[in-house]
Amino acid sequence: METKTETPDYYDISPVIHEGIAVFPGDTAFSRNVLMSIDDGSHIDLSTIKSTVHLGAHADAPSHYHKDGKGIDERDLMLYMGLCQVISVNIPKKERIQREHVTTAINAPRVLFKTESFPNPDQWVDDFNSLGPELIDWLTELGVRLVGIDTPSVDPSDSKDLPSHQSLYKNDMAVLEGVDLRLVPDGLYNLVALPLRLKDADASPVRAILLRLGDNS
């Protein structure tokens, strides 16, 4: 008898945060310091953490890439919730995704690009894919309010002028970086990826999930 494979009700697209997770070279790696432990005889577990805010699946704030940008605590939470489309793009490593690479019709106001060019969240590589600034302009014309990618940045790792980030600011588009889409089929979902209310912060980690909309086939 053929065994039926169960499809999950949601996909958790947040990499596990631990001390081995990769961060941009030179940024603050994640660490957790245990202050009290039940196993050592304390009445509670208690710990502190130290980390970059650009950790794992995260939302950049406009203040990260523009002097007049707002902090993450001032972003509208509705940007990070609602109908979302996952789209696979297969292009050479290091290249930016351009409009001509998107052959699927855009059917949601939030789009996550699956490139599989940063396959291991715990191993840093420089040749991941990113977004073209003209792509962001085009998505804006289509009514897209949030764009995301399964790599650490919408610009290449060696970019200093950050044209795609500047296009995000110009279009007031929200962004998610570092999402893990390896197990997610292309299609439509409901996204929930809320940033923490960190006052004036340039980014925040998110616990991002994609809820299924019935049959995504």
Beta-carbon count within 10 A of 200 CB: 11
**Residues 36, 44: Cα–Cα separation, whole Å:** 7
Closest CA to 175 of 104, 75, 99, 29: 75
Handedness of CA 79, 158, 179, 131 (dihedral sign): positive
E-strand stretches of the chain? 10-12, 31-36, 46-50, 58-60, 81-88, 96-97, 110-114, 130-131, 146-149, 174-177, 187-192, 203-205, 209-212
Quote the longest CA-to-CA distance of the chain.
Answer: 62
Q: CA 127, 128, 130 angle in degrees (round to 5)?
A: 125
Q: 66 an active-site residue? A: no
Closest CA to 182 of 116, 94, 111: 116
CB 133 within 8 A of CB 163: yes
- Of the residues 64, 66, 101, 165, which is catalytic? 64
The single residue listed with the structure tokens 């995260």 is 58
Catalytic residue list:
64
